């Protein structure tokens, strides 16, 4: 509780009193975090930053759970969070995708001298083959990052002007906060699992990672081992920083 109270005091001391100043504060803080995730993409900064953000949100949830108002608090966050959190999720996903492919390309370069099976011509043909997907990946990165930043930008005035009043409403009528959170959950489930078939993609990626782990235990090097290793390293480093 002491850690939670210190966190709450820090947040309250940072927030200015009027709505417009709070809006500019949210723009500076949230867009700054989004920018760091994008700039430091190759360090899996989106995922490690998301871990830190989830830890902070967990502290806040603990505090409001102690006050018996956690559900209205969560519902109020989702008022602007539908834009802000979705923006961060998009940026986290696209930066993780680019980081994975970056380290995988590094894995190919590392593997090439030791294999001997890949001649220079064959390697050049391989690079040419992946040039188009790489350009497409960069295009996706630019477009989706811009969409994420736009959503985060639009969320700031809602957080300053609307969310506090919605919080008061949910606090007075808790039943509506439960209904709202269920609707938010259904929205994410519908979009991720049905519209974009996220479950199928996760299952496919899980099979690839399991295959990589099996080959690693057998001592067989694959280029995809490097992005997996770097992912584990930077995630572990983030957890170490957060919890120590």
Q: What is the pLDDT of residue 112?
A: 67
**Average confidence score pLDDT of the chain:** 87
pLDDT at residue number 57? 86
Give tens-digit pLDDT for 83-109: 999 999 999 999 999 999 999 988 887
CB 38 within 8 A of CB 144: no
Which stretch, 66-70, 79-83, 117-121, has highest mean pLDDT? 79-83
Nearest to 144 by CA among 80, 96, 72: 96
Please choose, from the candidates 125, 123, 94, 99, the residue with its C-alpha nearest in 3D space to the C-alpha of residue 41.
99
Tally of CA atoms within 13 A in the half-sphere of 14 that contains its CB: 12
Per-residue confidence (pLDDT) for residue 18, from 0 to 100: 83
The confidence band for 111, taking pLDDT boundaries of 50, 70 and 90, is confident
- pLDDT beyond 80 at 80: yes
Q: pTM of the entire structure?
A: 0.85
Q: How far apart are CA 145 and CA 39, in angstroms?
A: 11
Q: List Cβ neighbours of 99 (8 Å cut-off, separation of 6 or more).
A: 41, 42, 43, 44, 46, 227, 230, 231
**CA-only gyration radius of the chain, Å:** 22
pLDDT, residue 139, reads: 95
In this predicted model, what pLDDT tens digit does every residue of 180-216 receive, in sequence order?
999 999 999 999 999 888 899 999 999 999 998 998 8
Structure tokens at 199: 């479950």
What pLDDT, in 10s, does the model give residues 31-47? 999 999 999 999 999 99
Q: Which of 205, 224, 209, 235 is nearest to 100 (CA)?
A: 224
């Amino acid at each position: 509780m002491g850690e939670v109270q210190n966190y709450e005091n820090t947040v309250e001391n940072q927030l200015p009193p009027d709505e417009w100043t709070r809006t500019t504060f949210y723009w500076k803080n949230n867009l700054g975090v989004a920018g760091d995730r994008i700039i430091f993409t190759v360090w899996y900064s989106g995922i490690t930053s998301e871990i830190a953000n989830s830890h902070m949100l967990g502290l806040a949830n603990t505090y409001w759970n102690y006050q018996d108002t956690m559900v209205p608090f969560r519902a109020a966050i989702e008022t602007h969070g539908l834009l802000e959190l979705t923006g961060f999720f998009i940026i986290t996903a696209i930066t993780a995708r680019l980081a994975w492919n970056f380290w995988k390309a590094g894995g190919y370069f590392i593997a090439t001298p030791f294999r001997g099976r890949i001649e220079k011509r064959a390697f050049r043909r391989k690079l040419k083959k992946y040039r188009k997907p790489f350009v497409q990946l960069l295009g996706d990165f630019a477009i989706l990052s811009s969409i994420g930043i736009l959503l985060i930008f639009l969320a700031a005035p809602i957080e300053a002007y609307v969310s506090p009043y919605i919080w008061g409403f949910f606090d007075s009528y808790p039943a509506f906060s439960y209904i709202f959170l269920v609707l938010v959950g259904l929205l994410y489930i519908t979009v991720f699992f049905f519209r974009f078939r996220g479950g199928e993609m996760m299952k496919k990626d899980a099979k690839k990672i399991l295959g990589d782990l099996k080959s690693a235990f057998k001592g067989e090097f694959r280029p995809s081992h490097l992005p997996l290793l770097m992912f584990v390293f930077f995630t572990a480093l983030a957890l170490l920083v957060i919890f120590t």
